[in-house]
Chain A
């Protein structure tokens, strides 16, 4: 996938992702402060607007950095800062690359997971968005081609969310609920699942 296709693919996925805003808001009201729906909606719209302005010759790295800046500017929230930092870290793995395939996607998602873990001082199993991103990074790493990888990523993201429901939140506002957080799926991991599903739907439509 080259720059122009990547740009279109991201925009298509985000337009689907915002349809989950109400679901994410409700999940976040149960565990956090309820602003995740707004964060995702405002962030996605800002990213789409900035990507539309980007030149067709923009490199994958430039595209990822545009996404990061737009997402952070749209929201001053902790989640937005974490996601933007993750995208910037991912963008470093694409320096000098024009073509994004399975190997590049794997590197990007792995770097994103590492940024979230470091900045958010979180580990897999803390019941955060990291659980979903790490599971998808692993699914990509063990897939042999893009189509297989997309399906594996969707399954891994969904399974990770199911697993978060059984866990107690250990980071952020949700950790204040302690054992009362058990039984509720993590809103951040769910948002990531919806993004991966949206990505897969756009892939299916373009093949």
Chain B
């Protein structure tokens, strides 16, 4: 295992220190705990706060999306491990501006337990909370069990829309409804080509024979819907986009935002190959790409592979997507 690290056990705290040193104008820690980060101007009186979180190892998820027009605070755990309820609660208190706090994070068991408990603690302090779970990974469960799906890169769209709604002064119920609506119209599928090596254990996150790919892989290396020989970029895009269109029930005349996301070790060139084919498929079907996003939005350390997400757009969602945002990773002017 070759990695640019110091002590493996300092990996998480040290990358957070790096973020704080690079972006002191955008983010801060409300207390002593480096695992809790909030936007530099938090709390915003009268506005809804949005707290997200989860395991480390997914940058720019989660810490890269704290800022204006996005999330207000975040709590992260060790690599691929949930933050504690205390850390989530601390983030909650630090972003509460009196209008309540939305918990918006991916659907993973450990995270759900800890966010629920943090919500209990917040309630005791008089802070109202709502929860919306990212669950866009279509390969993780069939459509009739969509509420049990895992959350992956498509949560970016929910952050963007809910963050914009909170920024313009929507109520807690309205911000939660915006997030839920976007989650309901987002679908993602990924392919994994090679695992990541976990810094603390030195072990790969999954095993994959040479020349094979895992279709529908999760962002912790969870198995997908099937494993098969590596295909060309066009074939991968055909499979993935076909599955997403079917899941969302999209046809001619639809408008979408597309996110082609790298999982950590896949070069931007390859992502643009996937985008190229995605654009062709959608054009052939009479579906308009209104907003394209290509890059690393949710990774799995240095896992090789990519995911494609589609968000079905209407005027309301598009307006929120285009609203200004400023965070360490993402900006919209």
Listed in ascending order, the chain A residues whose CB lies under 8 Å from chain B are: 65, 68-69, 72-73, 76, 78, 81-82, 84-85, 88-89, 119
Q: Which residues of B contact A76 (CB under 8 A)?
A: 77, 81-85, 114
| B228 is an interface residue with CB less than 8 A from chain A | no
Checking A65, A81, A88, A89 against B114 with a beta-carbon cut-off of 8 angstroms, the contacting residue is A81
Interface of A: prevailing SS = helix
Q: Which residues of B contact A72 (CB under 8 A)?
A: 84-86, 117
Per-residue CB proximity of B78-115 to A under 8 Å, as 1/0? 00011111100000000000000000000001100110
| B120 is an interface residue with CB less than 8 A from chain A | yes
| B323 is an interface residue with CB less than 8 A from chain A | no
Per-residue CB proximity of B108-140 to A under 8 Å, as 1/0? 011001101100110010000000000000000
Given A69-B121, A76-B77, A78-B110, are A85 and B84 neighbors across the interface (CB < 8 Å)? no
Given A76-B114, A88-B120, A119-B116, are A81 and B85 neighbors across the interface (CB < 8 Å)? yes
Listed in ascending order, the chain B residues whose CB lies under 8 Å from chain A are: 77, 81-86, 109-110, 113-114, 116-117, 120-121, 124
Q: Which residues of A contact B116 (CB under 8 A)?
A: 81, 85, 119
Nearest B residue to A78, CB-CB: B113
Q: Smallest CB–CB gap between B329 and chain A, Å?
A: 26
Q: Which residues of B contact A84 (CB under 8 A)?
A: 85, 117, 120
Cβ–Cβ contact B86 & A78, under 8 A: no
Nearest B residue to A65, CB-CB: B124
Cβ–Cβ contact A119 & B124, under 8 A: no
Q: Which residues of B contact A119 (CB under 8 A)?
A: 113, 116
Q: Smallest CB–CB gap between B95 and chain A, Å?
A: 20
Cβ–Cβ contact A73 & B86, under 8 A: yes
Q: How far is the CA of A9 from the CA of B109 in the complex (A)?
A: 33
Q: Smallest CB–CB gap between B15 and chain A, Å?
A: 20
Q: Which of A76, A78, A82, A85 has the most CB of B within 10 A?
A: A76
Q: Which residues of B contact A68 (CB under 8 A)?
A: 120
Q: How far is the CA of A84 from the CA of B117 in the complex (A)?
A: 7
Q: Which of A72, A73, A82, A89 has the most CB of B within 10 A?
A: A72
Q: Which residues of B contact A88 (CB under 8 A)?
A: 117, 120-121, 124
Q: How far is the CA of A82 from the CA of B85 in the complex (A)?
A: 11
Cβ–Cβ contact A81 & B86, under 8 A: no
Q: How far is the CA of A119 from the CA of B117 in the complex (A)?
A: 10
Cβ–Cβ contact A85 & B82, under 8 A: no
Q: How far is the CA of A138 from the CA of B84 in the complex (A)?
A: 33
Cβ–Cβ contact B109 & A81, under 8 A: no
Q: How far is the CA of A143 from the CA of B275 in the complex (A)?
A: 68
Q: How far is the CA of A89 from the CA of B82 in the complex (A)?
A: 22
For this complex, 28 residue pairs linking A to B, each with C-beta atoms less than 8 Å apart, are A65-B124, A68-B120, A72-B84, A72-B86, A73-B84, A73-B86, A76-B81, A76-B82, A76-B83, A76-B84, A76-B85, A76-B114, A78-B109, A78-B110, A78-B113, A81-B113, A81-B114, A82-B113, A84-B85, A84-B120, A85-B116, A85-B117, A85-B120, A88-B117, A88-B120, A88-B124, A89-B120, A119-B113
Q: How far is the CA of A65 from the CA of B123 in the complex (A)?
A: 12
Q: Which residues of A contact B81 (CB under 8 A)?
A: 76
Q: How far is the CA of A76 from the CA of B116 in the complex (A)?
A: 13
Q: Smallest CB–CB gap between A75 and chain B, Å?
A: 9
Nearest B residue to A75, CB-CB: B84
Q: How far is the CA of A88 from the CA of B124 in the complex (A)?
A: 9
Nearest B residue to A84, CB-CB: B117
Nearest A residue to B78, CB-CB: A76
Q: Which residues of A contact B113 (CB under 8 A)?
A: 78, 81-82, 85, 119
Q: How far is the CA of A88 from the CA of B77 in the complex (A)?
A: 23
Q: Which residues of B contact A69 (CB under 8 A)?
A: 121
Q: Smallest CB–CB gap between A154 and chain B, Å?
A: 29
Q: How far is the CA of A84 from the CA of B85 in the complex (A)?
A: 10
Q: Smallest CB–CB gap between A202 and chain B, Å?
A: 27
Known: A78-B110, A84-B85. 7 other contacts (CB 8 A): A65-B124, A72-B117, A76-B77, A76-B84, A76-B85, A81-B85, A85-B113
Q: Which residues of A contact B85 (CB under 8 A)?
A: 72-73, 76, 81, 84
Q: Which residues of A contact B110 (CB under 8 A)?
A: 78
Q: Smallest CB–CB gap between A82 and chain B, Å?
A: 6
Q: How far is the CA of A200 from the CA of B28 in the complex (A)?
A: 49
Q: How far is the CA of A84 from the CA of B86 in the complex (A)?
A: 12
Nearest B residue to A81, CB-CB: B113
Q: Smallest CB–CB gap between B220 and chain A, Å?
A: 16
Q: How far is the CA of A81 from the CA of B86 in the complex (A)?
A: 10
Q: Which residues of A contact B82 (CB under 8 A)?
A: 76
